[in-house]
Amino acid sequence: MTDGNGTVALAFSGGLDTTVCVSLLKEEYGYDEVIGVTVDVGQPDYEFEEAEETAEALGVEQYVVDAKEEFADLCLKAVKANADYQGYPLGTALARPVIAKAILSVAEEEGCDGIAHGCTGKGNDQLRFEAIWRDSDLEVIAPVRELGLTREWENEYAREQGLPVEGGDGGRYSIDTNLWSRSIEGSELEDPAEIPSDDIYKWTENPSGKDPELVEITFEDGEPVAVDGDELGSVELVEQLNEQAGAHGIGRTDMMEDRMLGLKVRENYEHPAATVLLTAHEALEGLVLTQEERQFKAQVDQQWSQKAYEGLVDAPLTGALEAFIDDTNERVTGTVTVKMEGGHCRPVSRESEYAVYSESAASFDEEAITGGITQQDATGVAKYHGFQSRLANDILEDVKAGKPAADGGSEADHDSEE
């Protein structure tokens, strides 16, 4: 199990799992040195402060890599794919490959022999990290999984070893926060029947008594670029909308999630900006894409979301799906106004120069359609519409009634026999 003396890079958050891992990587795996790598994908400041304090108390050298912009760009790319897995906009899933790559770079630069994470053997993150790390020559170590640890054991071990972990309620839930979403798992929430207390939410407020608000999102080639006419970089755009929409209580999800290993888990998420942006983007696609493009794209989007959930954003299939997504999204340029109200949002206005829309054709007030087509031309279509279904149902009735087959069948036309 041990590689002997050397250095191991650990994905470090300063939480219980990774704190315990620092000690175990030395005690159980025989590493001389552990370096902690914390990757900034938009966690709140106190998480970095805690990680720094814990690293110091443990005597671990800590590296902090800023990947906020890279991550925010990926989130906006996910908007083009209307990315959603069973109702979850994929915050944790999208962040993992970004984090894994950043840690691997540090590990390689620092000449490490091993690379480790504090994930359990039950979740998705172990798979997302290792999909990237196993492309390197480093020893991949997962102490929590390999040693079969539980949170209870970890707490006990931390106490015995005098490790700096927060006691009491601080570690009650397992929380993962980044720019795109905040996930809350564990404790009493593990019971799908348990109604969560409002205290679990930090980004979304109770919207009662708040006046509705309109927000205009501008898209270029499918990606949001401005809020209410103000052009913003990807990080600022997401941060601003998290605040604005969070104040209306938008973007809470309480769901059962099917993990990659087949386990069902109860998940709670907050994702205000994601909800507004995904709602607006889908509304603009509704204006500019053809019906068949929309139908086909829904399948492409679902596949893209699946690969993103798996953490396989570099898979050849993901790239091929993106070619379709990018191609169709060249026309997803324009603006959408979204109404934020009472914990929900919905599009109330959309505009684009690429709108596949003719007001005169659709209007109740105009006789002409377009290109010389008149209303009367629909008569032939109306005669044919449903023809096959009517025929199938008639035949079924006849067969049930024991009547001989109608014309086209091998037997004589029943009409002529009557």
Q: In this structure, is the dihedral angle defined by the CA atoms of residues 287, 288, 292 and 296, taken in order, positive or negative?
A: negative
In whole angstroms, what is the distance from residue 130 CA to residue 100 CA? Answer: 8
CB closer to ligand ARG, 215 vs 313:
313
Instruction: Please tell me whether residue 395 binds ligand ARG under the rule CB under 6 A.
Output: no
Residue 314 among the catalytic residues: no
21, 36 contact by CB (below 8 A): no
75, 179 contact by CB (below 8 A): yes
Please, where are the H alpha helices in 59-122?
68-80, 91-109
Instruction: Please tell me whether residue 17 binds ligand ARG under the rule CB under 6 A.
Output: no
Instruction: Please tell me whether residue 93 binds ligand ARG under the rule CB under 6 A.
Output: yes
Instruction: Please tell me whether residue 310 binds ligand ARG under the rule CB under 6 A.
Output: no
Nearest-10 crossing angle of helices 91-109, 125-133: 40
For residues 49-62, b (16+ Cβ closer than 10 Å) or e, as one string?
ebbeebbeebebeb
CB closer to ligand ARG, 259 vs 414:
259
Residue 338 has phi, psi (to 5 degrees) of -115, 135
Instruction: Please tell me whether residue 92 binds ligand ARG under the rule CB under 6 A.
Output: yes
CA atoms within 13 A on the CB side of 128: 30
Piece of the chain touching ligand ARG by CB under 6 A; list 76-84, 172-180, 196-204, 329-337: 172-180
Instruction: Please tell me whether residue 174 binds ligand ARG under the rule CB under 6 A.
Output: yes
Site map (CB under 6 A) of ligand ARG, residues 39-78, x = contact: ----------------------------------------
Residue 174 among the catalytic residues: yes
Positions in 333-392 near ligand ARG (CB under 6 A): none
Instruction: Please tell me whether residue 18 binds ligand ARG under the rule CB under 6 A.
Output: no
CB closer to ligand ARG, 185 vs 282:
185
Q: Which member of 105, 145, 172, 174 is catalytic?
A: 174
Positions in 102-131 near ligand ARG (CB under 6 A): 124
Residue 228 among the catalytic residues: no
Nearest-10 crossing angle of helices 316-329, 68-80: 70
In whole angstroms, what is the distance from residue 377 CA to residue 367 CA? Answer: 12
Q: Which member of 40, 84, 113, 125 is catalytic?
A: 125
Instruction: Please tell me whether residue 257 binds ligand ARG under the rule CB under 6 A.
Output: yes
In whole angstroms, what is the distance from residue 20 CA to residue 144 CA? Answer: 9
CB closer to ligand ARG, 118 vs 224:
118
Instruction: Please tell me whether residue 223 binds ligand ARG under the rule CB under 6 A.
Output: no
Residue 125 among the catalytic residues: yes
DSSP state of 14: S
Cα 123 to chain centroid, rounded:
16
48 assigned ligand-binding residue: no
Piece of the chain touching ligand ARG by CB under 6 A; list 168-176, 229-237, 291-299, 392-400: 168-176
> What one-letter code names the amino acid at 333?
T
Residue 415 has phi, psi (to 5 degrees) of -60, -45
Residues noted as catalytic: 17, 96, 125, 174
**Residues annotated within a binding site:** 11-19, 88, 118, 120, 124-125, 128, 174, 183, 257, 269
**Residues annotated within a binding site for ATP:** 11-19, 118
- Which residues of this chain interact with ligand ARG, rule CB under 6 A? 92-93, 124, 174-176, 183, 185, 257, 267
